[in-house]
Amino acid sequence: MSIKFEKVNYIYSPGTSMEKKGLDNVSFELTENSFVALVGHTGSGKSTLMQHFNALLKPSSGTIDIAGYHITNQTGNKNLKKLRKQVSLVFQFPEAQLFENTVLEDIEFGPKNFGATENEAKSKALKWLKRVGLDETIANKSPFELSGGQMRRVAIAGVMANEPAILCLDEPAAGLDPKSRKEMMKLFVDYQKAGHTVILVTHNMDDAAEYASDVLVMEHGKLIKHDVPKRIFADRNWLEKHYLDEPTSSLFAAGLTDFNFKDHPLTIDQLVAGIKENVRG
Amino acid sequence: MSKIIVGRYIPGHSLIYKMDPRSKLLVTILFILAIFLANNPITYAIVTIFCFLAVIATGLKAKVFWDGVKPLIGLIFFTSLLQLFFMTGGHIYWHWWIFSLSSYGLVNAIYIFIRFTLIILISTVMTVTTMPLEIADAMEWLLKPLKLFKVPVDKIALVISIALRFVPTLFDETLKIMNAQRSRGADFNDGGLIQRAKAITPILVPLFIHSLETAIDLSTAMESRGYRSSEGRTRYRVLSWSKCDLIALIYFVLLVGLLLIFRTH
């Protein structure tokens, strides 16, 4: 299920004194089953772009083709459910969306809305509760009795239980401890490997370098670069100019001035391999 | 933030904006009272002209004021019609059952119409040129005499200021929660009344929790910065009397003078 944005503009509060351009002539195409990292500093338009994926926002001009839908500024609010069933969004700090009496009911909310029967919803909820690394024993607890990290996992389970073809996540690991962070990332990578498209809004360049097949770089509402991580992170000056970090491994390798790397390493594995080669050679 | 402008404030630079909110609030209230001094065509004309000059002095588009009047236009017409058909006296043009159309009724209907419209216009002048927090400050100042009767004016003012400050925050949070639930397939536009009422739960519960959390965070932040009640606190927004306030005062005194001279005694 490919995604295509063509000359998409989005204007906040048009015609008022607070008019502001959210997206400025954004065009790109993503192939099915890719893992996309959406990067850029705060206020660059990442979240605005993300909300276009399931038509929470509609372009002021331009067109979007996603999951068989053609979205323009003429698109109405009706019949968007099918789109939202296929394209799901996990917002920043998604624990804010919990509301049900029990964890299980909260996770079932999405599947039920999208037409699953009681039994289907329940089995999906239990399946995803396990997948996000939580124990079945908490299924009947109130979500508000849980710890912050557990609430985050329940909220993510609540979205992933819809099993969307395209899953967009806005900094899902923000504020989590390193172990949870790793587990969450693995969950998303596995989901992509199972044949879905994953779009990850992130400030963590290590994640972008390691997992992404595409990196989209946003700045001032414009898409300033769309490429594979290798080429994105190759130009240090360009990264610095646009206030983007380098992946840790890349920085580490740059510090090893006596070493020669065939390919500039972006991940720990590549770094280790590169160092080994140098030491042996 | 596209639909709701909190407190209707519209940024601008004209003289009225430079007025102290206290004098603005006071002059507005007095102006509304002065409208009731008018009781004949000349005085109504005077007060109308003064009101329109104030509207023009804001330097804002006419549409802003039309938007202020529009929601109440039905009420204005209804009240005017009541006057028109139920008031008797003077020359009677038409009569049927309990309805009658008289010269008194006609004149009074027009007066009521003007009075209503002017009250809305002049309060709109104030609300569009003054930030909600400034209005709260001005109200605190106006209510100060109540301190004599042990009314905790400062605390009430603090509560109002905090409430106003958090309206946009809560609005943003509501929007965020709605979007999150929409992404989970919630539908806020479809279905019958019961379905729609049910659809509100997924918004209200998170919103309440968020509000309580914000309140707890805010009180913790205030206490950790040493906030102690409101005794002898300095102000972040210092209010000061300026030349603009003097002009407004003279303008108002002139209006009242003219009204007193020309009104029917």
Q: What is the ipTM of this complex?
A: 0.89
Q: Are A185 and A178 in contact (CB under 8 A)?
A: no
Which chain B residues have a beta carbon less than 8 Å from that of A94? 180
B205/A94 touch (CB, cutoff 8 Å), yes or no: no
Among residues A129, A189, A137, the alpha carbon closest in space to that of A155 is found at A129
- List the beta bridge partners of residue A5: A28, A64
- Mean pLDDT along residues B34-51: 91
CA distance A89 to B180: 7
pLDDT at residue A111, as a whole number: 94
B180/A89 touch (CB, cutoff 8 Å), yes or no: yes
CA distance A12 to B251: 40
CA dihedral A228, A232, A235, A241 (to 10 degrees): 170
Mutate to test the interface with A, among B183, B207, B212, B217 (most CBs of A within 10 A): B183
pLDDT at residue A1, as a whole number: 62
* H-type alpha helices, A170-247: 178-193, 205-211, 229-232, 236-241
Q: Which of A12, A84, A96 sits opposite B182 (nearest CB)?
A: A84
Which chain B residues have a beta carbon less than 8 Å from that of A53? none
Letter for the amino acid at A273?
A
pLDDT at residue B231, as a whole number: 64
Residues from B contacting A (CB-CB < 8 Å) are: 1-2, 10-11, 173, 176-177, 179-187, 189, 201-202, 204-206, 209-210
Mutate to test the interface with B, among A10, A97, A105, A151 (most CBs of B within 10 A): A97
A110/B179 touch (CB, cutoff 8 Å), yes or no: no
B184/A54 touch (CB, cutoff 8 Å), yes or no: no
- CA A178 to chain B, closest CA, distance in angstroms equals 25
Q: Which of A226-230, B151-155, B184-188 has the highest mean pLDDT?
A: A226-230
- Mean pLDDT along residues A236-259: 89
Residue B61 has pLDDT above 60, yes or no: yes
Letter for the amino acid at B73?
I
Neighbours of A114 (CB within 10 A): 20
pLDDT at residue A171, as a whole number: 92
pLDDT at residue A212, as a whole number: 94
Residue A206 has pLDDT above 50, yes or no: yes
Q: Which of B10, B177, B187 sits opposite A96 (nearest CB)?
A: B177
B183/A91 touch (CB, cutoff 8 Å), yes or no: yes
Q: Are A195 and A163 in contact (CB under 8 A)?
A: no
- Mean pLDDT along residues B224-246: 78
B209/A144 touch (CB, cutoff 8 Å), yes or no: yes
Q: Phi, psi (5° rounding) for residue A178? A: -55, -35
When computed from its CA atoms, the radius of gyration of chain B, rounded to whole angstroms, is 24
Classify strands A3-12 and A20-30 as parallel, antiparallel or unpaired: antiparallel
A56/B179 touch (CB, cutoff 8 Å), yes or no: yes
Among residues A140, A133, A144, A137, the alpha carbon closest in space to that of A98 is found at A144
A159/B184 touch (CB, cutoff 8 Å), yes or no: yes
- CA B161 to chain A, closest CA, distance in angstroms equals 23
Which range is least confidently modeled, A107-111, B74-78, B195-199, B226-230?
B226-230
- CA A274 to chain B, closest CA, distance in angstroms equals 44
Using CB atoms within 10 Å of the CB of residue A188, give its burial: 0 to 12 exposed, 13 to 18 middle, 19+ buried. buried
For chain B, give the longest Cα–Cα distance. Answer: 74
For B146, residues 6+ apart whose C-beta sits below 8 A from its C-beta are: B153
For A46, residues 6+ apart whose C-beta sits below 8 A from its C-beta are: A38, A39, A40, A170, A201, A218
pLDDT at residue B230, as a whole number: 59
Letter for the amino acid at A220?
H
pLDDT at residue B7, as a whole number: 61
A98/B206 touch (CB, cutoff 8 Å), yes or no: yes
Higher pLDDT, B108 or B89: B108
CA distance B164 to B139: 13
Residue A132 has pLDDT above 80, yes or no: yes
Q: Phi, psi (5° rounding) for residue A185? A: -60, -40
Q: Are A230 and A250 in contact (CB under 8 A)?
A: no
Which range is least confidently modeled, A192-206, B16-30, B200-214, B231-245?
B231-245
- pLDDT tens per residue, range B79-103: 888 888 887 777 777 777 777 788 8
Residue B3 has pLDDT above 50, yes or no: no
Letter for the amino acid at B261?
I
Unique residue bearing structure tokens 């009521």: B112
Residues from A contacting B (CB-CB < 8 Å) are: 12-13, 17-18, 51, 54, 56, 77-78, 81, 84-85, 88-91, 94, 96-99, 109-110, 112-114, 144, 158-159, 162
Neighbours of B95 (CB within 10 A): 11
Tokens of A41: 């500093």
Q: Are B171 and B1 in contact (CB under 8 A)?
A: yes
CA distance A122 to A116: 9
Q: Which strand ranges, in their side-by-side order, compose the sheet holding A166-170?
A: A87-90, A166-170, A197-201, A35-39, A214-219, A222-227
A97/B181 touch (CB, cutoff 8 Å), yes or no: yes
Q: Are B109 and B83 in contact (CB under 8 A)?
A: yes
- List the beta bridge partners of residue A263: none
First CA to last CA across chain B, in angstroms? Answer: 51
What whole-number percentage of chain A has pLDDT above 70? 99
| Average pLDDT of every residue of chain A | 92
The enclosing H or E element of A198 equals: strand A197-201
Which chain A residues have a beta carbon less than 8 Å from that of B182? 56, 84
CA distance B208 to B211: 5
CA distances, B54 to each of A212, B44, B47, B66 (Å): 61, 15, 11, 15
Inter-axis angle of helices B243-262 and B41-57, nearest 10: 170
Which chain A residues have a beta carbon less than 8 Å from that of B201? 99
3-state secondary structure of B226: coil
CA distance A10 to B41: 53
A91/B2 touch (CB, cutoff 8 Å), yes or no: no
DSSP at A126: H
For B224, residues 6+ apart whose C-beta sits below 8 A from its C-beta are: none
A113/B187 touch (CB, cutoff 8 Å), yes or no: yes
Which chain A residues have a beta carbon less than 8 Å from that of B187? 81, 113
Q: Which strand ranges, in their side-by-side order, compose the sheet holding A3-12?
A: A20-30, A3-12, A61-66, A69-71
